Amino acid sequence: MTLKLKANLLYDATLALLYPQACAVCNSSVETRASGVACASCWLGTRIFNGDETVCWKCGAEAAGVVAEEKRMDVRCHRCETEAFTAARACGVYEKALRASILSLKREPHVASHLASLLFEAQQRSPLSMATLIMPVPLHPARERERGFNQATELARALAQLARLPLDEQSLVRVAVTERHRAGMDARARRESVLDAFEVTRPRLVEGERVLLIDDVYTTGATVSACASALKRAGAQDVFVLTVARPAS
Ligand SMILES: [Zn+2]
Ligand SMILES: [Zn+2]
């Protein structure tokens, strides 16, 4: 972290004590630091998954209808068959408080305790509860230097601490710079651009592990799938994915 960034963080923390912070969604005041950038009522208005939703067992896309608990593993959207990960889940829908939290995390490396506990609750549910090792989706080193931090690493650290799981921030690396949402790039072009973007530097550390990959948003699944295939090639037994949010389906 640069000195300037540290100074900024200290400045923000001091300001938050002196002046109540405005909610990034509705502008009313945020009652507690634990809520992060959104107020309690905006958190209440944000769709958070509780594990009872009917979702594609593999990619977590919302599906129609109600399914008995023992049949949940059979629900499939059939659009994610080629994805390399075992299963992906999100804390909730990319809207209101979750969207504001994600945008804020791109500017400031601070995971509010409410957001950390949402990650923890999602991780505690099956199948993510089987994870043995937590890893963030890496940024390219040049990109990380530019930003000063990796938001996925901040999320992964917060979760690893609550879940008491080992964290590996180093073994999975991004070897190619890829623009996630380059204008004019369709889903297929995006997928091809990240296909070989990741490498495992120390396969010994992921061999036989059930890795839980952490990222902020699940969009097409291309990035986490590329990470998952690198991890699988290195011998990981399973690769689960947890993101803060995914678009409403
Ligand atoms: Zn609000
Ligand atoms: Zn699916």
Query: Taking residues 21-29, what's their average pLDDT?
Result: 94
My answer on whether omega of the bond before 247 falls inside 30° of 0, hence cis, is no
Q: Which of 122, 131, 72 minimizes the C-alpha distance to 98?
A: 122
For residue range 88-108, list pLDDT tens digits in order.
999 999 999 999 999 999 999
Q: How far is CA 180 from the centre of its chain?
A: 14
For residue range 188-210, list pLDDT tens digits in order.
777 777 878 999 999 999 999 99
Query: Taking residues 211-228, what's their average pLDDT?
Result: 96
pLDDT for residue 48: 98
Q: Which of 29-33, 119-123, 136-140, 161-165 has the lowest mean pLDDT?
A: 29-33
Quote the percentage of the chain above a pLDDT of 90: 76
**What is the spatial distance between Cα 199 and Cα 176, in angstroms, rounded to a whole number?**
10
Long-range contacts of 176-179 (CB under 8 A, 24+ apart): 176/140, 177/140, 177/142, 177/143, 178/140
CA 22–ligand 1 middle distance (angstroms): 8
CA 29–ligand 1 middle distance (angstroms): 7
CA 179–ligand 2 middle distance (angstroms): 24
Structural domain including 229 reads: 48-246
Query: Taking residues 221-247, what's their average pLDDT?
Result: 97
Q: Which of 17, 235, 9, 230 minimizes the C-alpha distance to 137?
A: 230
Kindly state whether residue 90 falls inside one of the protein's structural domains. yes
Check: CB of residue 98 under 8 Å from CB of residue 36.
no
Kindly state whether residue 146 falls inside one of the protein's structural domains. yes
Kindly state whether residue 31 falls inside one of the protein's structural domains. no
CA 76–ligand 1 middle distance (angstroms): 35
Listed residues: CB within 5 A of ion ligand 1: 23, 25-26, 39, 42
CA 218–ligand 1 middle distance (angstroms): 24
Kindly state whether residue 96 falls inside one of the protein's structural domains. yes
CA 87–ligand 2 middle distance (angstroms): 9
**What is the spatial distance between Cα 53 and Cα 11, in angstroms, rounded to a whole number?**
41
pLDDT at residue 181 above 60?
no
DSSP assignments along 178-236, one per residue: --TT-TT--HHHHHHHHTT-EEES-GGGTTT-EEEEEEEE-SSSHHHHHHHHHHHHTT-
pLDDT at residue 180 above 60?
no
Kindly state whether residue 171 falls inside one of the protein's structural domains. yes
Domain count, the chain: 1
Kindly state whether residue 193 falls inside one of the protein's structural domains. yes
pLDDT for residue 15: 63
Kindly state whether residue 133 falls inside one of the protein's structural domains. yes
Token pair listed for 46: 């944000």
| Ligand approaching nearest to the C-alpha of 246 | 2
In the chain, the amino acid numbered 93 is: V
**Which band of pLDDT confidence, cut at 50, 70 and 90, is reported for residue 12?**
low
pLDDT at residue 10 above 90?
no
What CATH number should be reported for the domain holding residue 160?
Answer: 3.40.50.2020
Give the position of tokens 């059930």.
210
**What is the spatial distance between Cα 104 and Cα 114, in angstroms, rounded to a whole number?**
14
pLDDT at residue 115 above 90?
yes
pLDDT for residue 188: 76
Kindly state whether residue 2 falls inside one of the protein's structural domains. no
**What is the average pLDDT value for the chain, to the nearest integer?**
91
pLDDT at residue 155 above 80?
yes
pLDDT at residue 152 above 90?
yes
